Amino acid sequence: MTDLLIRRLPDLSPYEPVWRAMQAFTDARTPETPDELWVVEHEPVFTLGQAGKWEHVLNPGAIPVIPVDRGGQVTYHGPGQIVAYPLIDLRRARLGVREYVQRIEQAVIDTLAEWNVLAARKEGAPGVYVNGAKIAALGIRVRRGCTFHGLAFNVDMDLEPFRRINPCGFQGLQVTQVLDLAGPSRLTDVETVLVAELARQFGLEAIPADPILTSGAGAASAGGANVTA
C-alpha cells in the first residue's frame, strides 16, 4: 500500500504561509513524490475563492479576508475547526476531480457516523450537511493533476463569524459543528478518525511525518482547476 504522509502543523497557524507552502509543494513535486495530508487549525480568517463575490463578505470586522486560488465563494477558518489539506496526485490515484471530491465528502460522512451522526451530501452544493446545516466545507485546486487546498470541518468553535458572511455564497445558510451534535469536543479525537477515513478513501497508508516549515514558501503559478463548496 502506498504511503500518505500525515503532517500536523502547529496549533493556530496563520493561513497565508500554509497556503504558499501548499503551492510550493505542488509546483515542486514529481511523479515519485509521496502524497501528503496536512492537518491544521488556523488563526481566524475569511478566505474568498476565485469565483467569490465581495458582496458575500457582510461584516468581517477585525478578521482578515484573503482572496485565494481555490474555486468558489467565502468561508471562515478559526480555532476549533479541523482544516485538512490532501495533496494528492490524481493521475497516480486514477481519480477524476468529481470522484476525488466525493471521496473527501464520504470520509467526513463516515467520520461523523463514528458518533452516530447522520450526515449527507446536498445536490448542487458540495460539502457535508447535517439536517440541512453545513458542518464541512470543501474547496480545492488542481494543478498539473495534483490537488491542494481541501476541507474545513467544524468541531468545537465559535460559529459567530459565519454570520458575518454568506457562507459559500448562500444567504442564510446555517452551519453546525460536532460539539452541537453530541459528538466529542476534542479536535484530536475527531482528527484521528478523519485522517484514517481519508487515507482509507484514497487507498493509502497513513504515516506520521514531521510538520512542514512554512516560511519562505514559493509563490503561485498560473493554471489549474478549481472546485469549491
Query: Is a pLDDT exceeding 90 seen at residue 25?
Result: yes
CA distances from 90 to 12, 84, 85, 95, 103 (A): 29, 17, 14, 5, 12
pLDDT tens digits, one per residue of 129-164: 999 999 999 999 999 999 999 999 999 999 999 999
When pLDDT is averaged across residues 114-124 and rounded to a whole number, the result is: 94
- Average pLDDT over every residue of 74-81: 97
Predicted local distance difference test score (pLDDT) of residue 218? 36
pLDDT per residue as tens digits for the range 194-226: 999 999 999 999 999 998 766 533 333 334 555
pLDDT of residue 121: 95
Q: Is 168 a catalytic residue?
A: yes
Dump pLDDT digits (tens) for 175-189. Answer: 999 999 988 888 999
Cell numbers describing residue 1 = 500500500
Alpha-carbon distance of 61 to 44, in angstroms, equals 11
**100 has pLDDT over 90:** yes
The predicted-structure confidence for 43-70, as pLDDT tens digits, reads as follows: 999 999 988 889 999 999 999 999 999 9
Helices 97-113 and 187-201: crossing angle in degrees, nearest 10, is 140
pLDDT score of 217 = 38
Greatest C-alpha distance within the chain:
47
pLDDT (average), residues 18-38:
97
pLDDT of residue 111: 98
Q: Mean pLDDT, the chain, as a whole number? A: 91
Q: Which of 168, 198, 217, 227 is catalytic?
A: 168
DSSP 8-state class, residue 175: B
The pLDDT of residue 224 is: 55
pLDDT of residue 213: 63
Residue 124 CB contacts under 8 Å (≥ 6 apart), including other chains? none
